Amino acid sequence: MKTLKDVKVGKTAVVVKVHGEGPVRRRLMDMGVTKGTSIYVRKVAPLGDPVEVNIRGYELSLRKADCEKIEVE
Amino acid sequence: METKIALAGNPNSGKTTVFNILTGSKQYVGNWPGVTVEKKEGRLRGFDNVLIQDLPGIYSLSPYSLEEVIARNYIINERPDVILNIVDASNIERNLYLTVQLLEIGLPVVAALNMMDVVRKNGDFINTARLSEMLGCEIIETAAIRGEGLMTAARRAAELAGTEKTPVPRHRFSDPVEQAVTRIGEIISGTVDPQYLRWFAIKLFERDEKVREELGLDANLSAGIENIIRNCEQELDDDAESIITNERYEFIGRLMAACVRREERKNNLTLSDKIDRIVTNRVLALPIFAAVMFVVYYISVTTAGSLLTDFANDVLFGEWIMGNLSEWLAAIGTAGWLTSLIVDGIIGGVGAVLGFLPQMVILFLMLAILEEIGYMARVAFIMDRIFRKFGLSGKSFIPMLIGSGCSVPGIMASRTIENERDRRMTIITTSFIPCGAKIPIIALIAGAIFKGAWWVAPTAYFAGIAAVVISGIILKKTKYFAGQPAPFVMELPPYHLPYAGNILRSVKERSRSFVRKAGTVILLASIVIWFFSSFGMVSGRLLWVEDMEFSILAAAGGLLAPLFAPLGFGSWQPAVATVMGLVAKEEVVGAFGVLFGVAGDALALVEEGAYEGLAAIAAHFTPLSAFSFLLFNLLCAPCFAAIGAIRREMNNAKWTWFAISYHFAFAYSISLIVYQLGLLASGAGFSPASAAALLLVAVLAYLLLHRPYNETRRLKSAAAEIHSS
């Protein structure tokens, strides 16, 4: 399974499914990470985590552990 | 008749600015009942019968975040007449997600399409009329920063409140979902307010725990509803929560396609992106961050701040108020003890704290500017990695940073942390960071005992940071703090120019709560400590004593002294000084001056660097016991003002006591370990106390290294037990 964590900086991926459960999953979906949305990975924080992505026209910061829950293609 | 408008919107949508402009100075700030989320309400300017209730900034109405639950409970239970939804038009796609949910509730909604100035500047276009028609709610274009359209939007909302007709949202879910929602609605009709029937049905379909609990449906009905949801999930091959969220966003996708035209930008980079290319750059981010913090500190602590603070302490309180007041009190023939109570007790105690106000106002001002322009979110982004290592989040950095000035606003700044466990942990650990008032203690020990050794001050700060890290690791493993890490799914809002009104208001609110503390907790504590230090038992009678040596406090210090003997300072004077430190930490130095008979003001001598004058204090300590005393005073319970802040932010007496006991136990253990192992290393014989120190080291190592408390593991083993029996 390819996840958002595997997407290189500067590349765009499309969400297939958000895995996991509870608050984190719901929060991701509420912020617009839903099936079919494209996510552009803008950069990685200076210390290697979290990452900054562009989604639905705004900037979002995600931890790599949460990126692993986002299946993409 | 009074009209109630609920103001709802995403964080960073300009909602605060809108609220400030609409209500002007007619605001009331408090807390939502039972929690420490700020509650603001005010009256619409020029319309005294229109009440505006500001709801917390939220992205959704999910049951998982405190703010979201507060907002939806208010809307459902308090029944505002109308909802005014602030939508950031420059980030319209995600902002509409909340709008769609607000429309599902069934109350009239007016959407203020805010930041239209930014949209126009970007060359984008929004067909407002079309959007209004497709959403099924009125839309007014606004630009809060210029005050454009706001009053129109508020007036329109107030007018709408008077009309009888209930709005019908245009958004429909897919057929299977609509059928399921209708059937759930049939099952629960009669148990809920008919106006909110659809909202409750959708929430039950989402399997919203909070709503389920609230309705308390019997097992039969619940099973029926669960059956409906399962069938629908099977038909659409997804879980209910995802189905609902996806369909809302698909609807928004259709709105976007029909109503919004975005100008193609060169390389797709906005000004904000360009700034971030430098500010959150892999190489430059940390140096820039360090530079920003240095400037903030340089201005608030060393230059402008200390000038004003010195003025407040020495001239305003020292000469003008205390000096003149003593003369005046003497002139009208006030009794000596009363003069002492007013001048030394009340003004000395409260003044010592209020003297910090100018410095803090400047610190608050600069932090408010950083917050307002959007830099604080970047700080959390840059620092998250480090803080997560010991169980905190990047957002904990800000409270600790402010805490290095004063713990009171630092602890108050923990409010921005959404997760309750993270917030409690931050509240507990913030006061380990040496605050401004602890600097004189450090200076005294470093100057008078270590002959001005350069390493004492950095070691003190390092000890504070180490205490935060160690506590984070230890506490995170206990069952009170274990559990899923809080989601760090954080928006990085575009940078924007600060709006002066918001900054001033934030500074005013933070300063005011600081002053209020000084006027209550500290006032009381000052009087109590003054009483105990000024009265003593002389030949069986309670009398006013000139010399603190004969006071009740000294006697109490004598009782406490054996407790501190294993830490190397088991005489009554350090015990008394430690207690005095609870009023304000720099009082430790002042108390030493009085108790050891230093000529002149010990605090002033420390500030001037005249350490020869402090020889009487130095004679009382060995370097090792002085260091142990310093550590204990840095780490043990903070001053009364900070304890008051802990109490307020924890909003719970048990947690407050836990925090204070933890501080004390931690400080005691660390000082004991340092002093006893120091003695051993210097060749002293092995004693029971050394054994205790070694044992504590072992306990500490165990707490740091053992496996964390794990809820799932416990549940699994419990389940296994049930199986086997």
Enumerate the residues of chain A whose CB falls inside 8 A of the CB of residue B489. Answer: 24, 27-28, 31, 60-62, 66
The predicted structure's pLDDT at residue B725? 47
Around Cβ B543, how many Cβ atoms within 10 Å?
Answer: 12
Q: Which residue of B has its CA nearest to A49?
A: B385
The whole-angstrom distance between B435's CA and the closest CA on chain A is 28
| Chain B residues with CB-CB distance to A18 below 8 A | 242
Question: How far apart (Å, rounded) are the C-alpha atoms in residues B678 and B630?
Answer: 15
How many Cβ pairs closer than 8 A exist between chain A and B? 122
For residue B52, the model assigns a pLDDT of 95
Q: Is B408 helix (H, G, I), strand (E, B) or coil?
A: helix
Cβ–Cβ of B280/A43 closer than 8 Å? yes
In a 10 Å sphere around its CB, with 0-12 CB exposed, 13-18 middle and 19+ buried, how is residue B458 labelled? Answer: exposed
Length of chain B: 725
In terms of pLDDT, which residue wins out, B468 or B169? Answer: B468
The 3-state DSSP class for residue B630 equals: helix
Instruction: Map tokens 């299946």 to a residue.
Output: A71
- The rounded distance, in Å, linking the Cα atoms of B100 and B135 is 8
Which residues of chain A from 28 to 67 reach within 8 Å of chain B, CB to CB?
A: 28-32, 34-35, 37, 42-50, 52, 56-63, 65-66
Q: What ipTM was reported for this prediction?
A: 0.96
Q: In this complex, do B487 and A65 lie within 8 Å of one another by their Cβ atoms?
A: no
CATH of domain B3-162: 3.40.50.300
First and final C-alpha spacing in chain A: 9
Instruction: Tell me A7's DSSP state.
Output: S
CB pair distance less than 8 Å for A31 and B281: no
Residue among B307, B255, B44, B304 nearest B157 (CA): B44
Inter-chain touch A48–B281, beta carbons under 8 Å: no
pLDDT tens digits, one per residue of B607-652: 777 788 788 888 889 999 999 999 999 999 898 888 888 987 887 8
Chain A CA closest to residue B386: A47
pLDDT > 60? residue B542: yes
3-state percent helix, strand, coil for chain A, nearest multiple of 5: 20, 40, 40
Looking at the complex, does the CB of residue B91 fall below 8 Å from at least one CB of chain A? yes
Tell me, letter by letter, the H, E, C secondary structure of B547-599.
Answer: CHHHCHHHHHHHHHHHHHHHHCCCCHHHHHHHHHCCCCCCHHHHHHHHHCCCC
User: When comparing pLDDT for A71 and B533, which is higher?
Assistant: A71
Closest among A49, A66, A30, A54 to B492, alpha carbons compared: A54
* Residue among B628, B570, B617 nearest B593 (CA): B617
Tell me if B399 sits within 8 A of B383, measured CB to CB.
no
Is the pLDDT score of B720 beyond 60? no
Q: Which of A16, A28, A29 to mutate to test the interface with B (most CBs of B within 10 A)?
A: A29
Which among B245, B246, B286 has the least Cβ separation from residue A46?
B286
Which of A11, A25, A26, A30 has the highest number of chain B CBs within 10 A, making it the mutation to test binding with B? A30
**CA A72/CA B711 separation, integer angstroms:** 30
SS3 B200: helix
CA distance A53 to A71: 15
Query: What would the two tokens of residue B189 be?
Result: 């009709």
Residues 6+ away with beta carbon under 8 Å from B223: none
Is pLDDT above 80 for B546?
no
Around B362, how many Cα atoms within 13 Å sit in the side-chain half-sphere? 20
For B547, list phi and psi in degrees, rounded to 5: -100, 125
**Residues B292-314, mean pLDDT to the nearest whole number:** 75
Identify the helix (H) or strand (E) that includes residue B51. strand B50-54
Mean pLDDT of the B117-123 span: 89
**Helix (H/G/I), strand (E/B), else coil: B532:** helix
Q: How far apart are CA B329 and CA B133, in angstroms?
A: 74
Q: What is the pLDDT of residues B406-445, one digit of tens each?
A: 788 788 778 767 677 888 999 999 999 998 888 889 988 9
CA–CA separation, B685 vs A6, rounded Å? 60
Residue B333: partners with Cβ closer than 8 Å, 6 or more residues away: none
Q: Which residues contact B72 (CB under 8 A, 6 or more apart)?
A: B61
Q: Given an 8 Å threshold on Cβ–Cβ distance, is B488 in contact with A56? A: no
B175-261: CATH, from 2.60.40.180, 1.10.287.1770, 3.90.180.10, 2.60.40.1180 = 1.10.287.1770
How many Å apart are CA B593 and CA B545, to the nearest integer? Answer: 17
3-state secondary structure of B207: coil
Q: Does B247 touch chain A (CB under 8 A)?
A: no
Q: Is the CB of B492 less than 8 angstroms away from the CB of A61?
A: yes
**Taking CA B462 as the corner, what is the angle to CA B461 and CA B466, rounded to the nearest 5 degrees?**
120
Q: From A28, which residue of chain B is nearest by alpha-carbon distance?
A: B489
Question: Are B245 and A34 within 8 A, CB to CB?
Answer: yes
User: Taking CB atoms and an 8 Å limit, are A61 and B381 in contact across chains?
Assistant: yes
Of residues B562 and B684, which shows the higher confidence score? B562
CA-closest candidate to residue A60, choices B116, B138, B231, B487? B487
Contact B653, B457 (CB under 8 A): no
Distance CA B38, CA B231 (A): 42
Angstrom distance (rounded) from CA B608 to CA B508: 33
| Token reading at B251 | 């609807």
Considering only CB atoms, which chain A residues are within 8 Å of B97? 30, 32
Please give, rounded to a whole number of angstroms, the shortest distance from the CA of B674 to a CA of chain A.
33
Is some CB atom of chain A closer than 8 A to the CB atom of B494?
yes
For residue B297 the two structure tokens come to 């500190």
d(CA B108, CA B166): 7
A60 three-class SS:
strand
Q: Which of B62, B273, B492 sits opposite A30 (nearest CB)?
A: B62
Q: Which residues pair with A41 in a beta bridge?
A: A53
Please name the residues in contact with B307: beta carbons below 8 A apart, sequence gap of 6 or more. Answer: none
* The two three-digit tokens of residue B381, written as one number: 């982004």
CA distance A63 to chain B (A): 7
DSSP label at B438? G
User: Any chain B CB within 8 A of the CB of A7?
Assistant: no
Using an 8 Å CB-CB cutoff, list chain B residues near A49. 384-385
User: Measured between alpha carbons, how far is residue A34 from residues A55, A61, B94, B674 in Å?
Assistant: 10, 16, 12, 54
3-state secondary structure of B495: coil
Mutation test of the interface with chain A: which of B94, B239, B250, B495, choosing the one with the most A Cβ atoms within 10 A? B94
The answer to whether B283 contacts A46, with C-beta atoms less than 8 Å apart, is yes
What residues contact B315, with CB distance under 8 A and at least 6 apart? none
Calculate mean pLDDT across residues B434-457.
87
Q: Closest-CA residue in chain B for A18?
A: B242
For residue B534, what are the β-bridge partners? none
Using a CB–CB cutoff of 8 Å, tell me whether A15 touches chain B: no
Q: Tens digits of per-residue pLDDT, B185-224?
A: 999 988 898 889 999 999 999 999 899 998 988 899 999 9
What pLDDT is stored for residue B679 in this prediction? 93
Tens of pLDDT, residues A7-43: 999 999 999 999 988 888 999 999 999 999 999 999 9
Which value, in Å, is the radius of gyration of the alpha carbons in chain B? 30
Cα–Cα distance measured from residue B278 to residue B413, given in angstroms and rounded to the nearest whole number: 27
Chain B, nearest residue to A58 by Cα? B91
Q: Is the pLDDT assigned to residue B397 strictly greater than 50?
A: yes
Q: B10 to chain A: nearest residue by CA?
A: A31
**With an 8 Å Cβ cutoff, is B60 touching chain A?**
yes
End-to-end CA distance of chain B: 65
Alpha helices in B164-239 (DSSP H): 175-188, 197-205, 209-215, 219-236
| Residue A55, min C-alpha distance to chain B (Å) | 9
Burial status of residue B465 (CB atoms within 10 A of its CB: 0-12, 13-18, 19 or more):
middle
Domain spanning A4-72, CATH architecture: Roll (2.30)
Quick check: helix, strand or coil at residue B402?
A: helix
Position B300 pLDDT exceeds 90: no
**Chain B contact set for A27 (CB, 8 A):** 59, 62, 64-65, 487, 489
Chain B residue nearest residue A25, CA to CA: B487
The residue ranking higher by pLDDT, B547 or A65, is: A65
Q: Which pairs count as long-range contacts for A54-57, CB under 8 Å and 24+ apart, including other chains? A: A55/A31, A56/A32, A56/B93, A56/B94, A57/B91, A57/B92, A57/B93, A57/B94, A57/B262
In order of B18, B111, B140, B692, the CA distances from A57 in angstroms are 23, 20, 22, 60
pLDDT class for B674, splitting at 50, 70, 90?
very high
Q: How far is A6 from chain B, CA to nearest CA, in Å?
A: 18
| Chain B CB within 8 Å of residue A19 CB | no
The confidence score (pLDDT) of residue B167 equals 67
Radius of gyration for chain A, computed over Cα atoms and rounded to the nearest angstrom: 11
Smallest CA–CA distance, residue A14 to chain B, in Å, is 14
Given phi > 0 = left and psi -120 to 50 = alpha, else beta, which region is A28?
Answer: alpha
**Residue A50 token pair:** 């979290």
